[in-house]
Chain A
């Protein structure tokens, strides 16, 4: 086996994929895993002020297939992505990804067994896997927290654990690197 130099060597190069000063539009689908389960779909817009910091506006809709319960929500969140890296997919490809934390708040309207409107907060963790300079896939876990009224009982704060996946498109298409 060949032994390579292990001197003080670094690889210094431009990021392959950059988010800085770009817009990101995502369409995501998934579900809330607890509270009898909801199917979720959302449209998310992010503006990346820096590589690591972005502001997100999200509009989402959730529904149950068994019951008639529905959620409609809008969220404004901040996203912080301090981790950027690459992984080797077997030996076939190098995948570039970032990890981000997200959190924010907004409003939710729930309909079904009981109707109401509430403040909603969200915290989560997600990852983007970059496909090319303008496309990425997103996988995300979020806890949507809001105060919900239930028939025959007092309102209570519910945690709604969701998992979602989606596709992101970055604008402008070409990176300014």
Chain B
């Protein structure tokens, strides 16, 4: 029934809405977008999509045939590549005649999914080289893309360079720091990996759900033969994330309508779970739309009906998205907690090996950089850390630990 109403709404563009949502835009900007979609008033839709990440109107039936059909194809191409469906993604890309920069980015994603890392890197770099002419959001995506394909190709220093380009106020900042930590780890730079993981222990990371940051933190301590500290990192991780996973599972078992739109219940949800939900771009966009719809002036007549339908529609979509996001959170937590168990067993086994005199297997690619030997550019700030966290320092910590490994075991 709801779909029927929406189809009728899309097909029944009347003279009252000849200019789309212009007449109600100041008091009801989100509902105005629905009227824009009906009336083929494309400009506001394009602005909402690119400037505010708003794309809920593309989920309305008929959007793929509307004036916003190229936006629809662009979004669907991205989703298809995200799911690894290259053929479908390319098919959507073929429907787009505009948005050459966005198409270039998606082409890079497709090349990366296909394992053509060198080509993908060149594609992302071509966007980065045009940084003055593209949006900050697309540039950040290109930085992340270049970093990821460099990581996959084993060029970790290059990956670290591009991860570092993602700015602190960007929604992808913590994701970039997290992935940069893995690049440090894979590069054998345990002090860099520890530095990246430190950002996730700060109060600023209260809303971040990155259990794997503790995994590579423990791994880095382990490879420096600081086994007590490796064990402590795992204990800290379990203490934080086991209760989080319990709540994720509890929420998964409840109907989203019972908690997602109730502020009192939301206040009791762990900030890390809320942060994880908001870090998902699709959930974030819908949540923003929902909030904006609630803040709109109450409309009357046809527009009022569209407004009420939009609220129901967005709530339905939010329910679907929250189920997907929670399932992903549960999966990631399970994987990280299993890894934590493995590391704990390894540390216990190590204790046994030490008792029986068995040698410890050591990584031979551990790099220890002495900060005192490094010449820093005048454009680089070098602040000693004394236990205080500054927002502008997040993601840039670097440890100066020395390995205590020896063939006989830890000292």
Contact = CB atoms under 8 A, between A and B. Distances in A.
Contacts of B390: 11, 86, 88, 94
B397 A177 contact: no
A50 B378 contact: yes
A16 B398 CA distance: 18
Interface string B234-259: 00000000000000000000000000
B392 A15 contact: no
Contacts of B398: 9-12
A4 B389 CA distance: 10
Interface stretch (B106-114, B358-366, B379-387): B379-387
B381 A11 contact: yes
A3 B388 CA distance: 10
Contacts of B380: 12-15
Contact of A11 (B201, B378, B383, B401): B383
Contact of A10 (B132, B389, B400): B400
A15 B384 CA distance: 15
Contacts of B93: none
A5 interface: yes
29 contacts: A6-B387, A8-B371, A8-B401, A9-B198, A9-B385, A9-B398, A9-B399, A10-B382, A10-B384, A11-B385, A11-B393, A11-B396, A11-B398, A12-B371, A12-B380, A12-B396, A12-B398, A13-B164, A13-B392, A13-B393, A13-B395, A13-B396, A14-B380, A15-B381, A18-B379, A20-B378, A20-B379, A50-B378, A51-B379
Interface of A: 3-16, 18, 20, 50-52, 84, 86, 88, 94, 96, 174, 177
Given A4-B201, A10-B397, A11-B381, 17 more contacts: A7-B401, A9-B400, A10-B382, A10-B383, A10-B385, A11-B384, A11-B396, A11-B397, A12-B398, A13-B380, A14-B379, A16-B392, A20-B378, A50-B378, A94-B391, A94-B392, A174-B132
